[in-house]
Amino acid sequence: MIYEDLKGKNVLVTGSSSGIGAATAVLFSRQGCFVGVHYFRTKDGAEKTLEQVKQNSDGLLLRADVRDEKQVNEMVEQFAREAGGIDILVNNAGSLIDRQPFETATVDYHDDVYATNVRSILLVTRSALPYLKKSRGNIVNIGSVAGHHGGGNGSGIYAGAKAAVATETISMAKEFAPYGIRVNSVLPGFIETRFHERFSPQQRWKEVAEQTPLGRNGTAEDIAKVVLFLASEAAGFITGEYIAVNGGLYMRA
Ligand SMILES: NC(=O)c1ccc[n+]([C@@H]2O[C@H](COP(=O)([O-])OP(=O)(O)OC[C@H]3O[C@@H](n4cnc5c(N)ncnc54)[C@H](OP(=O)(O)O)[C@@H]3O)[C@@H](O)[C@H]2O)c1
């Protein structure tokens, strides 16, 4: 166990049927947390995550399209009811959906990217807020370094959405601080998950690893460890902050 204070906390991790969310859910279970394992399309992935969670602690399978207010409200209510409250919310569900440059991007694509990556955070956070107020809990939003550097080939609209996640993290941190709720974000770089299996050729994986000062691409666990730090008392005086996790690929003063 890394963080003793996380023991017994109720943690909802959106998008934990795969990749970063799955690794985060499992790492929280290793601290003795009760974990909400959420999915939308990938039920078998979520079942696999829950199986791993149950090897360490306990959890609950939850389904919702994070773009849909009614589904989100029902999902959050179900988790809060069965867990007995919410201490930590990880807004991780998100996707590039497709690679569409501005020149040819459809309005439907644009709106879907923002609904999946930005509206989702509004909906889940607002629904969980009454419970987080009670627990004086905290929120970790998963952004992206793309939100800082503008993204690569056909990912500019996604980069814009992730920039909104970064800014709204600060806005939420200000609004929720009077309730004792901290809000922070993690900005992954190139992380080897289904995300890049879908959207980047293997040659790109190799190129990025070679360009990265630490000499490799990231793993889902690299991100999960930082999410746990931000959610723990070790980060008890940190709010409205982000940590970029990218092996030194994008450094800023
Ligand atoms: N991998 C990277 O290099 C990288 C870099 C920067 C940021 N990120 C961000 O990190 C987060 C996790 O990505 P990942 O790499 O772990 O990708 P992933 O393996 O594809 O996982 C994405 C997760 O998001 C969920 N999701 C997507 N659309 C959803 C919707 N409409 N409703 C509910 N859930 C939805 C998926 O659920 P289902 O499959 O069950 O539908 C899945 O659990 C995302 O926010 C992504 O933008 C990733």
Question: Mean pLDDT of successive 10-residue segments in the chain (253 residues)?
Answer: 92 98 98 98 98 98 98 98 98 98 98 98 98 98 97 97 98 98 98 96 97 98 98 98 97 89
Which residue in 149, 174, 177 sits closest to 163, CA to CA?
Answer: 149
Residue nearest to atom 35 of ligand 1 (CA): 93
Strand blocks (E) in 88-223? 88-91, 138-142, 182-188
pLDDT at 21: 99
| Helix (H) / strand (E) containing 115 | none
Query: What is the whole-number distance in angstroms between the Cα of residue 197 and the centre of ligand 1?
Result: 12
The letter for the amino acid at 178 is P
Distance CA 147, CA 157 (A): 10
Cα(116) to ligand 1 centroid in Å equals: 9
SS3 89: strand
State the helix-helix crossing angle for 156-176 and 120-135, rounded to 10 degrees: 20
Atom of ligand 1 nearest to the CA of 93: 24
Ligand 1 centre to CA of 193 (Å) is 9
- Quote the pLDDT of residue 2: 81
Q: Contact at 8 Å (CB) between 212 and 161?
A: no
Q: How far, in Å, CA of 132 to CA of 243, rounded?
A: 22
Residue 225 phi/psi, 5° resolution? -65, -35
Is residue 182 within 8 Å of residue 125, measured between CB atoms? no
Q: Which ligand 1 atom sits nearest the alpha carbon of residue 116?
A: 31
Of the CATH numbers 3.30.540.10, 3.40.630.40, 3.40.50.720, 3.40.50.300, which one belongs to the domain with range 4-245? 3.40.50.720
For ligand 1, atom 17, name the residue with the nearest CA. 195
Nearest residue to 39 via CA among 82, 79, 117, 93: 93
| 54-63 residues labelled b (16+ CB within 10 A) or e (exposed) | eebbebbbbb
- Residue 134's Cβ-side half-sphere holds a number of Cα atoms within 13 Å equal to 9
Quote the ligand 1 centre to 178 CA distance (angstroms).
31
Measuring from atom 42 of ligand 1, which residue has the nearest CA? 15
Which residues, 6+ apart, have CB-to-CB distance to 69 below 8 Å?
123
Of 26, 24, 73, 10, residue with least CA distance to 245:
24
Label residue 215 exposed, middle or buried (CB < 10 Å: 0-12, 13-18, 19+): exposed
How much is the pLDDT for 252? 87
Query: What pLDDT is recorded for position 44?
Result: 98
Give the model's pLDDT for residue 1: 60
Please identify which of the residues 3, 131, 158, 242 carries the catalytic annotation: 158
pLDDT value of residue 120: 99
**Do residues 234 and 184 lie in contact, with contact meaning Cβ atoms separated by under 8 Å?**
no
Predicted TM-score (pTM) of the model is 0.98
Give the span between the Cα atoms of 181 and 29, in whole angstroms. Answer: 22
Q: Is residue 137 helix, strand or coil?
A: coil
Is 158 noted as a catalytic residue in this protein?
yes
